[in-house]
Structure 1
Amino acid sequence: MSKIGRTFPGISGPKRILVTGASGGLGSALARVHAAPGVSLCLWGRDRARLDAAADQCRALGSAVEVRSLDLADGEAALDALRAEDADMRFDMAYLVAGRGDTRAPGQRIESAGLALRLGQVNFSVPAAMASELVQHMAERGGGRVVLIGSAAGQHALPFAAAYAASKAGLARYAQALRIAAAPLGVSVTLAAPGFIDTPAGRAVPGPKPLLLGADEAARRIARAAMAGKGHFVTPWPFAALRVIDRMLPTGLRARLLRGLAPPGG
């Protein structure tokens, strides 16, 4: 029995699951949360070696696993691959985890145009398009679950991570709109907005990381929220409180505080 089965006893969990970003720490942890006999997983990721390692872990837990190595910067290729995979597996749940957390390079005052373009594609445009495609297919089959991975950073105008914060903010608004449209069709859409997660990619980002969550714990919390049908899930909870505080601050004070959050050298 998967961890989801133990969390929701008596409730049948999803059996055909797509996880993008499965070569990363959170994506692979989400795959393991669901891995169990009778569950088929389709894992996507950029790093083939880490992707194969994640697949082996899930197979050891009893799942049938297929893998695909690709970069979501090519949106049309990603959509073509999604259509082909869904025609074969008929996904009843999808975690769209893939994204990049790049910030302003040391010594730069403003992020590069190239970084803004890439993060807009990988963090917003492509996962939004994939979510829309999945909802349409799931609705035709009578239901399903789509989980988009945002970030607590999307709640704040971070001057050293403008493209990252903006792309996650855009994804949050898109998820909200898609959730409203998809609910009458029997498809739930969840936006998970975690704070700092202890992954190799996260450790590479300089600066303090308060309320750090382990990848496995973050995955369990997100999976529980998705299975419960929550629309917007922020974890740990203090990040939800920070969102309220941010909106209450005077504009000038907010700007000074956000500038002060820049990591050393950023």
Structure 2
Amino acid sequence: MTRIVITGATGAIGQALATGYARPGNRLVLHGRQHEVLESLAADCRRTGAEVECSSVDLGDDEALFAWLASLCDPAPPEIVIINAGININIGEDGSGEQWEDASRLLEINLRVPMAMGNFLGKRMRAAGRGQLVLMSSLAAYHGLPVTPSYSASKAGVKAYGEALRGWLAPHGVGVTVVMPGYVSSKMCHEMPGPKPFLWQPERAARVISRGIEKDRARISFPFPLDFGCWWLAVLPAAISQHLVKWFGYHIDPDDGAKR
């Protein structure tokens, strides 16, 4: 029995991943904040042959989080843990800036929680000599977008942390994969300001991610044209990259406050 843990399972990518892994021989542990969506997803996964356990533990509560993770590692850690939960905020319709309370919560969920889970599970997978940690970053990790500064920062942090974890854990038989999606159709995606080039459906993204996990790829980034372009933003001189980001439409028009 292969145990697969997915946080953020009620989001678009999370649901598609859960559905893709829902087959006989797999035991899914699905975590999500939307109770009704979670229960419906679990029922769908059970119908296709998977065993399913649900959780809505508060990931931001260290005591509750670590107690849950400890239970998942008894008697042995799961084979695959996909740390997918995340939120997004932006600088607002008028470009006035993010609210710090919102930014602080975002950093907790998007960065602190993946680090806490990676730290806890990495040690136990290392001791067991097996396991796969999957951290959800973003192509925004290559170069911060001015309309979503905190989100960009959190995903850059996840990218760096996942890369470091892989270097630490790989010699001990533990894989770490950093996923860097572009735009994947979801409520969160469509609420983000700015254009959405090369938009993928979540099912397509889930197929690419699961294939990459199976191959223990260090990085899974897509779609290629956007990935290639964002990579260049990271290596070009900052002044050129910032000009390109503005030219591509990721800014607030000072004349009317409209998102472009």
Partners of 1:90 and 1:71 lie apart in 2 by 20
| Higher mean C-alpha deviation, range 239-248 or range 29-38 | 239-248
> Alpha-carbon deviation of 1:109?
2.5
| Residues 16, 206 of structure 2: 8 Å contact kept | yes
List per-residue Cα deviations over 1:170-193 (Å, max 9, x = no partner).
Answer: 010000000000001110000010
Q: Secondary structure at the match of 2:220?
A: strand
> Alpha-carbon deviation of 1:107?
2.1
> Alpha-carbon deviation of 1:116?
2.1
Partners of 2:117 and 2:63 lie apart in 1 by 10
RMSD: 1.9
Is the alpha carbon distance of 1:39 and 1:248 closer, same or farther for their aligned partners in structure 2, counting shifts above 3 Å? closer
Partners of 1:251 and 1:188 lie apart in 2 by 33
> Alpha-carbon deviation of 1:242?
1.4
Q: Secondary structure at the match of 1:122?
A: helix
> Alpha-carbon deviation of 1:239?
2.7
| Residues 76, 128 of structure 2: 8 Å contact kept | no
5+ long unaligned stretches in structure 2: none
1:262 maps onto 2:251 in alignment: yes
Q: How does 1:38-117 map to 2 (within 5 A)?
A: 38-87=25-74, 90-117=77-104
Partners of 2:185 and 2:91 lie apart in 1 by 21
Q: How does 1:212-231 map to 2 (within 5 A)?
A: 212-231=199-218
Partners of 2:190 and 2:235 lie apart in 1 by 31
1:6: which partner in 2?
none
Q: Number of residues paired by the alignment?
A: 253
Partners of 2:113 and 2:15 lie apart in 1 by 20
> Alpha-carbon deviation of 1:67?
0.3
1:154: which partner in 2?
141
Q: How does 1:109-188 map to 2 (within 5 A)?
A: 109-188=96-175
> Alpha-carbon deviation of 1:230?
0.6
List per-residue Cα deviations over 1:42-70 (Å, max 9, x = no partner).
Answer: 00001111111111111111011010113
Partners of 2:238 and 2:154 lie apart in 1 by 21
Amino acid in structure 1 at the alignment position of 2:56: S
1:203: which partner in 2?
190
Partners of 1:105 and 1:75 lie apart in 2 by 31
| Residues 25, 215 of structure 1: 8 Å contact kept | yes
1:194 maps onto 2:197 in alignment: no
Amino acid in structure 2 at the alignment position of 1:66: E
5+ long unaligned stretches in structure 1: 1-13
List per-residue Cα deviations over 1:202-224 (Å, max 9, x = no partner).
Answer: 23334321111110110010010
Q: Secondary structure at the match of 1:90?
A: coil
Partners of 2:52 and 2:237 lie apart in 1 by 51
| Residues 89, 98 of structure 2: 8 Å contact kept | no
Partners of 1:262 and 1:58 lie apart in 2 by 41
Is the alpha carbon distance of 1:248 and 1:97 closer, same or farther for their aligned partners in structure 2, counting shifts above 3 Å? closer
| Residues 154, 166 of structure 1: 8 Å contact kept | yes
TM-score, L = length of structure 2 = 0.90
| Higher mean C-alpha deviation, range 93-102 or range 163-172 | 93-102
| Higher mean C-alpha deviation, range 218-227 or range 238-247 | 238-247
> Alpha-carbon deviation of 1:88?
6.0
TM-score, L = length of structure 1 = 0.88
